[in-house]
Protein backbone atom coordinates (compact mmCIF):
# COMPACT_ATOMS: atom_id res chain seq x y z
CA UNK A 1 0.00 0.00 0.00
CA UNK A 2 2.89 2.36 0.82
CA UNK A 3 4.43 1.66 -2.59
CA UNK A 4 1.14 2.44 -4.35
CA UNK A 5 0.80 5.68 -2.37
CA UNK A 6 4.26 6.77 -3.50
CA UNK A 7 3.38 5.88 -7.09
CA UNK A 8 0.20 7.96 -6.85
CA UNK A 9 2.18 11.03 -5.82
CA UNK A 10 4.98 10.42 -8.36
CA UNK A 11 2.64 9.88 -11.30
CA UNK A 12 0.53 12.87 -10.28
CA UNK A 13 3.64 15.04 -10.54
CA UNK A 14 4.60 13.53 -13.90
CA UNK A 15 1.13 13.99 -15.37
CA UNK A 16 0.99 17.57 -14.15
CA UNK A 17 4.36 18.24 -15.77
CA UNK A 18 3.15 16.70 -19.02
CA UNK A 19 0.22 19.11 -19.05
CA UNK A 20 2.33 22.25 -18.75
CA UNK A 21 2.77 22.69 -22.53
CA UNK A 22 -1.02 22.51 -22.88
CA UNK A 23 -1.62 25.52 -20.66
CA UNK A 24 -1.17 27.91 -23.58
CA UNK A 25 -4.12 26.17 -25.24
CA UNK A 26 -6.20 25.69 -22.08
CA UNK A 27 -9.81 26.78 -21.82
CA UNK A 28 -9.03 29.10 -18.91
CA UNK A 29 -7.73 32.63 -19.36
CA UNK A 30 -4.05 33.25 -18.71
CA UNK A 31 -3.28 34.62 -15.23
CA UNK A 32 -2.06 38.22 -15.06
CA UNK A 33 -0.48 37.90 -11.61
CA UNK A 34 1.61 35.34 -9.73
CA UNK A 35 -1.43 33.71 -8.18
CA UNK A 36 -5.07 34.32 -7.34
CA UNK A 37 -5.94 32.12 -4.38
CA UNK A 38 -9.69 31.47 -4.36
CA UNK A 39 -11.62 33.28 -1.62
CA UNK A 40 -14.26 30.78 -0.47
CA UNK A 41 -15.93 33.41 1.71
CA UNK A 42 -16.71 35.80 -1.16
CA UNK A 43 -20.33 36.15 -2.30
CA UNK A 44 -19.41 37.84 -5.59
CA UNK A 45 -20.32 36.02 -8.80
CA UNK A 46 -17.70 36.18 -11.55
CA UNK A 47 -16.38 33.93 -14.31
CA UNK A 48 -14.15 31.98 -11.97
CA UNK A 49 -13.41 32.51 -8.29
CA UNK A 50 -12.65 35.77 -6.50
CA UNK A 51 -9.05 36.29 -5.37
CA UNK A 52 -8.20 36.33 -1.69
CA UNK A 53 -6.25 39.45 -0.63
CA UNK A 54 -2.54 38.72 -1.05
CA UNK A 55 -1.88 39.57 2.59
CA UNK A 56 -4.24 36.78 3.67
CA UNK A 57 -2.65 34.07 1.51
CA UNK A 58 -0.99 31.22 3.42
CA UNK A 59 1.16 28.29 2.32
CA UNK A 60 -1.72 25.88 2.99
CA UNK A 61 -3.67 27.59 0.20
CA UNK A 62 -1.28 25.80 -2.18
CA UNK A 63 -1.41 22.42 -0.40
CA UNK A 64 -3.73 19.41 -0.69
CA UNK A 65 -3.20 16.27 1.35
CA UNK A 66 -4.85 12.89 1.01
CA UNK A 67 -4.44 11.82 -2.60
CA UNK A 68 -2.74 8.67 -1.35
CA UNK A 69 -5.99 7.52 0.25
CA UNK A 70 -8.50 5.48 -1.83
CA UNK A 71 -11.98 6.83 -2.39
CA UNK A 72 -15.19 5.06 -1.36
CA UNK A 73 -16.14 2.65 -4.15
CA UNK A 74 -19.22 1.30 -2.36
CA UNK A 75 -21.75 3.15 -4.52
CA UNK A 76 -23.83 1.81 -7.43
CA UNK A 77 -21.07 2.44 -10.00
CA UNK A 78 -18.33 0.98 -7.74
CA UNK A 79 -16.01 3.89 -8.47
CA UNK A 80 -14.87 7.05 -6.73
CA UNK A 81 -13.36 10.29 -7.98
CA UNK A 82 -11.29 12.44 -5.62
CA UNK A 83 -10.96 15.85 -7.32
CA UNK A 84 -8.21 18.36 -6.71
CA UNK A 85 -9.52 21.48 -8.45
CA UNK A 86 -9.74 25.10 -7.33
CA UNK A 87 -12.62 24.25 -5.00
CA UNK A 88 -10.40 21.80 -3.08
CA UNK A 89 -7.05 23.55 -3.61
CA UNK A 90 -7.63 27.33 -3.69
CA UNK A 91 -4.14 28.04 -5.01
CA UNK A 92 -5.11 26.44 -8.34
CA UNK A 93 -7.47 29.31 -9.10
CA UNK A 94 -6.59 30.96 -12.47
CA UNK A 95 -3.71 28.52 -13.09
CA UNK A 96 -5.64 26.44 -15.64
CA UNK A 97 -4.86 22.98 -14.29
CA UNK A 98 -6.27 20.37 -11.89
CA UNK A 99 -6.18 16.65 -11.23
CA UNK A 100 -8.15 13.79 -9.70
CA UNK A 101 -7.64 10.33 -8.28
CA UNK A 102 -9.91 7.63 -9.70
CA UNK A 103 -10.61 4.43 -7.78
CA UNK A 104 -12.48 1.44 -9.16
CA UNK A 105 -13.65 -1.68 -7.37
CA UNK A 106 -13.89 -4.81 -9.51
CA UNK A 107 -16.36 -4.07 -12.30
CA UNK A 108 -16.53 -0.39 -11.38
CA UNK A 109 -17.28 2.23 -14.01
CA UNK A 110 -16.84 5.95 -14.48
CA UNK A 111 -19.96 6.32 -16.59
CA UNK A 112 -19.99 8.20 -19.92
CA UNK A 113 -19.47 11.90 -19.22
CA UNK A 114 -17.88 15.06 -20.55
CA UNK A 115 -15.61 17.79 -19.22
CA UNK A 116 -16.82 20.93 -21.03
CA UNK A 117 -13.75 22.98 -20.17
CA UNK A 118 -10.83 20.55 -20.16
CA UNK A 119 -8.79 17.89 -21.91
CA UNK A 120 -8.01 14.95 -19.62
CA UNK A 121 -4.81 12.91 -19.44
CA UNK A 122 -5.21 9.68 -17.47
CA UNK A 123 -2.34 7.58 -16.10
CA UNK A 124 -3.20 4.09 -14.84
CA UNK A 125 -1.28 3.05 -11.73
CA UNK A 126 -2.93 -0.28 -10.94
CA UNK A 127 -5.32 -2.74 -12.60
CA UNK A 128 -6.88 -2.80 -16.07
CA UNK A 129 -9.29 -0.25 -17.52
CA UNK A 130 -11.30 -0.31 -20.73
CA UNK A 131 -11.38 3.36 -21.73
CA UNK A 132 -12.58 5.35 -24.69
CA UNK A 133 -14.14 8.46 -26.15
CA UNK A 134 -16.49 9.19 -29.04
CA UNK A 135 -15.53 11.81 -31.61
CA UNK A 136 -17.95 14.18 -33.33
CA UNK A 137 -16.99 12.73 -36.72
CA UNK A 138 -19.50 9.95 -37.45
CA UNK A 139 -19.59 9.17 -33.71
CA UNK A 140 -16.33 7.25 -34.07
CA UNK A 141 -15.31 5.32 -30.96
CA UNK A 142 -11.65 5.33 -29.90
CA UNK A 143 -11.30 2.70 -27.19
CA UNK A 144 -8.65 0.39 -25.78
CA UNK A 145 -7.63 -1.48 -22.63
CA UNK A 146 -5.07 0.18 -20.38
CA UNK A 147 -2.61 -1.57 -18.08
CA UNK A 148 -0.51 -0.19 -15.23
CA UNK A 149 1.86 2.43 -16.60
CA UNK A 150 -0.30 3.32 -19.63
CA UNK A 151 -1.46 6.87 -20.35
CA UNK A 152 -4.52 7.89 -22.39
CA UNK A 153 -5.86 11.29 -23.43
CA UNK A 154 -9.53 12.32 -23.67
CA UNK A 155 -10.00 15.44 -25.81
CA UNK A 156 -11.91 18.34 -24.33
CA UNK A 157 -15.70 18.17 -24.46
CA UNK A 158 -16.01 14.64 -25.87
CA UNK A 159 -18.02 11.85 -24.26
CA UNK A 160 -15.68 9.37 -22.56
CA UNK A 161 -15.67 6.60 -19.96
CA UNK A 162 -13.54 4.16 -17.96
CA UNK A 163 -14.54 0.60 -16.99
CA UNK A 164 -12.58 -1.73 -14.70
CA UNK A 165 -12.13 -4.98 -16.63
CA UNK A 166 -9.43 -6.41 -14.38
CA UNK A 167 -9.63 -9.04 -11.66
CA UNK A 168 -9.18 -6.56 -8.82
CA UNK A 169 -9.21 -2.88 -7.95
CA UNK A 170 -7.88 -0.21 -10.31
CA UNK A 171 -6.34 3.18 -9.51
CA UNK A 172 -5.61 6.06 -11.88
CA UNK A 173 -4.55 9.70 -11.76
CA UNK A 174 -6.14 12.16 -14.17
CA UNK A 175 -4.86 15.65 -14.96
CA UNK A 176 -7.13 18.23 -16.59
CA UNK A 177 -6.36 21.46 -18.41
CA UNK A 178 -8.63 23.66 -16.30
CA UNK A 179 -8.82 24.58 -12.63
CA UNK A 180 -12.58 23.99 -12.97
CA UNK A 181 -13.06 21.39 -15.73
CA UNK A 182 -16.70 20.67 -14.96
CA UNK A 183 -18.28 17.26 -15.39
CA UNK A 184 -21.63 16.17 -16.78
CA UNK A 185 -22.72 12.54 -16.89
CA UNK A 186 -24.65 11.82 -20.07
CA UNK A 187 -27.48 9.60 -18.81
CA UNK A 188 -28.39 11.60 -15.67
CA UNK A 189 -28.24 14.85 -17.63
CA UNK A 190 -31.01 13.55 -19.89
CA UNK A 191 -33.07 11.24 -17.69
CA UNK A 192 -32.65 12.99 -14.33
CA UNK A 193 -32.76 16.64 -15.42
CA UNK A 194 -34.45 19.08 -13.04
CA UNK A 195 -37.08 20.00 -14.08
CA UNK A 196 -37.55 16.85 -16.18
CA UNK A 197 -37.11 16.84 -19.94
CA UNK A 198 -40.39 16.21 -21.73
CA UNK A 199 -40.84 12.46 -22.27
CA UNK A 200 -41.54 12.94 -25.98
CA UNK A 201 -38.07 14.41 -26.51
CA UNK A 202 -36.42 11.33 -24.99
CA UNK A 203 -38.81 8.92 -26.74
CA UNK A 204 -37.87 10.31 -30.15
CA UNK A 205 -34.17 10.74 -29.39
CA UNK A 206 -33.67 7.19 -28.09
CA UNK A 207 -36.45 5.35 -30.00
CA UNK A 208 -38.21 4.43 -26.77
CA UNK A 209 -41.85 4.38 -25.74
CA UNK A 210 -43.19 6.39 -22.83
CA UNK A 211 -43.19 3.45 -20.42
CA UNK A 212 -39.52 2.80 -21.14
CA UNK A 213 -38.63 6.47 -20.61
CA UNK A 214 -40.53 6.54 -17.32
CA UNK A 215 -38.81 3.34 -16.20
CA UNK A 216 -35.34 4.79 -16.90
CA UNK A 217 -36.22 8.06 -15.15
CA UNK A 218 -37.46 6.14 -12.11
CA UNK A 219 -34.22 4.15 -11.93
CA UNK A 220 -32.27 7.39 -11.43
CA UNK A 221 -34.64 8.51 -8.68
CA UNK A 222 -34.02 5.22 -6.84
CA UNK A 223 -30.26 5.55 -7.28
3-state SS string over 65-128? CCCCCCCCCCCCCCEEEEEECCCCCHHHCCCCCEEEEEEECCCCEEEEEECCCCCEEEEEEECE
Statement to judge: residues 163 and 209 lie in one domain: no
Q: Note whether 139 and 39 are same-domain residues.
A: yes
| Domain-embedded: residue 14 | no
- The answer to whether residue 59 sits within a structural domain is no
User: Do 85 and 194 fall into the same domain?
Assistant: no
- State whether 159 and 204 are in the same domain: no
Of residues 17 and 44, more confidence is placed in 44
Domain check: are 42 and 136 in the same one? yes
> What is the pLDDT averaged over residues 164-169?
98
Same domain? For 121 and 165 the reply is yes
One domain, residues 147 and 210: no
The response to whether 215 counts as a known ligand-binding position is no
Q: Is 6's pLDDT higher than 70?
A: no
- Point out the least confidently predicted range of 13-17, 77-81, 103-107: 13-17
Same-domain check for residues 155 and 198: no
Residue 180, number of CB atoms within 10 A of its CB = 22
**Is 120 annotated in some ligand binding site?**
yes
Task: Provide the 8-state DSSP code for 133.
Answer: E
Instruction: Determine the pLDDT at residue 222.
Output: 63
Whether 8 maps to a domain, the answer reads: no
Instruction: Consult the annotation and say whether 115 binds a ligand.
Output: yes
Task: Report yes or no on 66 lying in a domain.
Answer: no
| Residue 176 resides in a domain | yes
* Averaged pLDDT, 202-208: 97
Look at the chain and report how many structural domains it folds into: 2
Percent of the chain's residues with pLDDT above 90: 74
The pLDDT tens digits for 124-150 are: 999 999 999 999 999 999 999 999 999
Element (H, E) at 132: strand 128-134
Residue 10 lies inside a defined structural domain of this protein = no
pLDDT tens-digit profile of 51-91?
Answer: 999 999 999 999 999 999 999 999 999 999 999 999 999 99
The average pLDDT across 27-33 equals 72
Q: Is residue 3 part of a domain?
A: no
Give strand pairing partners of 82. 101
- Report whether pLDDT(13) > 60: no
Known binding residue 110? Answer is: yes
Q: What pLDDT is attached to residue 65?
A: 96
Cβ count within 10 A of residue 213 = 22
- pLDDT averaged over every residue in the chain: 89
Domain of residue 207, residue span: 188-219
Q: Residue 24 pLDDT > 50, yes or no?
A: no
Q: Are residues 206 and 138 in the same domain?
A: no
Cα–Cα dist 86/76, whole Å: 27
Q: Is 207 annotated as a binding residue?
A: no
pLDDT at 217 over 90: yes
Domain containing 158 — which CATH number?
Answer: 2.60.120.10
Confirm whether 204 is domain-assigned.
yes
Amino acid sequence: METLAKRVVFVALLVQAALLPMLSMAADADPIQDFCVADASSTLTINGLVCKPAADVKVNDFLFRGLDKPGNTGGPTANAVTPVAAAQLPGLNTLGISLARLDFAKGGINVPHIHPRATEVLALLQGELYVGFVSTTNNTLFATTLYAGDVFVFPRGLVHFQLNVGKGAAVAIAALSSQNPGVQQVAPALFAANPPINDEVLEKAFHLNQNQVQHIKASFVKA
